[in-house]
Structure 1
Amino acid sequence: MIVTVAGFKGGVAKTTSAVHLAAYLQRLAPTLLVDGDANRSASLWASHEGLPFTVVPEAQAMKYARQFEHIVIDTGARPSGDELRDLVGGCDLLVLLTNPEAMSLDALLQTTEALQNLGGQYRILLTLVPPSPSREGEEARALLEAESLPVMRAAIRQTSAFRHASAQGVPVYGLKGSRSAKLAWLDYERAAQEIVAAIQEKA
């Protein structure tokens, strides 16, 4: 199973999502995270040696890929229409991230035509959704659904737990005694389960 994570704007939790989707898939079978982002954020996270899966730079992916059943690819930001097609062609499902902020949604919606041409080969995951009583997440979901875009039912709530997890080099479930960390992991479990189901449905 190959899952590619992409975003049209920085700051939408792309690496955080790649790390946690890989952490979930590792519980199912050996998983490789390919760090294709020039910032090498996933590699930095892994440098603390607290992640339960293997992380390699994109240039080494071909060497290691055959050893793993699942692969998650963390890409660079702002893919063009042509790059989107290439990304879709290279994976089982492309997961596009956006937070509910207007600039992020605009960046995504500017590519609506290119996205619709991709068919059902991708899903949109809302990230950094502010907690209640904010309605930003619901409003963003309604906007995307009005454009007939495939928005995932799962969404990732905004919490400082992810920042602490990155600093410690562990998945968010590795933070001890944190209720917000448990909820954050639950969000990614739900997202990962939805992704796996979508891929299995296509198979």
Structure 2
Amino acid sequence: KDFARVKDVVEILGVKTSSVISALKKLSKNGLVDYEKYSYIKLTQAGLMQASLLFEKHNSLKTFLEEVLYIESSKAGELAHGLEHHLNQELLTKMEAVTRFFAENPELLKKMQTYVDDYEKDSQGTLDKQKSGKVYRVEAVRGDPELKRRLLSMGVLPGTEISLEAIAPLGDPIEIKVRGYRLSLRKEEARAVVVESI
């Protein structure tokens, strides 16, 4: 429509009206939008240019996730949205080059995807799939940064021995003993811990 209203932005992003107004004031101050209280929001020429760059970055990243890492489309869109604000131009250019390389060399893409599939199968030894009463060594801790930080802070570190004490009937929670302490992990947390039986 070439314009938006504050309520449109609130609905689409699922944020508070006050947050939108605060952001619009900053964008207006930086010359990216024309906005006055109770009026329509319109991009300036500079804002349109910035929006186009962000849109291109999002699409490049989404294409890389879908076509190179073959992540399902809706998930790739979500991931791209979270990652796009943290990518610099150098990394984005290299990802675009990798996407193009594999588009021009489909046999190599297939080979790489087979390798990734095999790697994922080999690393299926996560704590949530193990049996109670056994001892394991932590090989790696995966997952999003917050989950990883939480597990590491509890002492679930690579190289550490873990005794799997008990598993609830539905697999959640999982009781472990690590460094002399008993801990209760949710299934999601246990799924992030790659272990090897010892």
Q: TM-score range by the shorter chain?
A: under 0.3
Question: Bigger radius of gyration, 1 or 2?
Answer: 2
Could you tell me the TM-score, scaled by structure 2's length? 0.23
Bigger relative contact order, structure 1 or 2 (CA pairs below 8 A, ≥6 apart): 1
Q: Which has the higher helix share?
A: 2
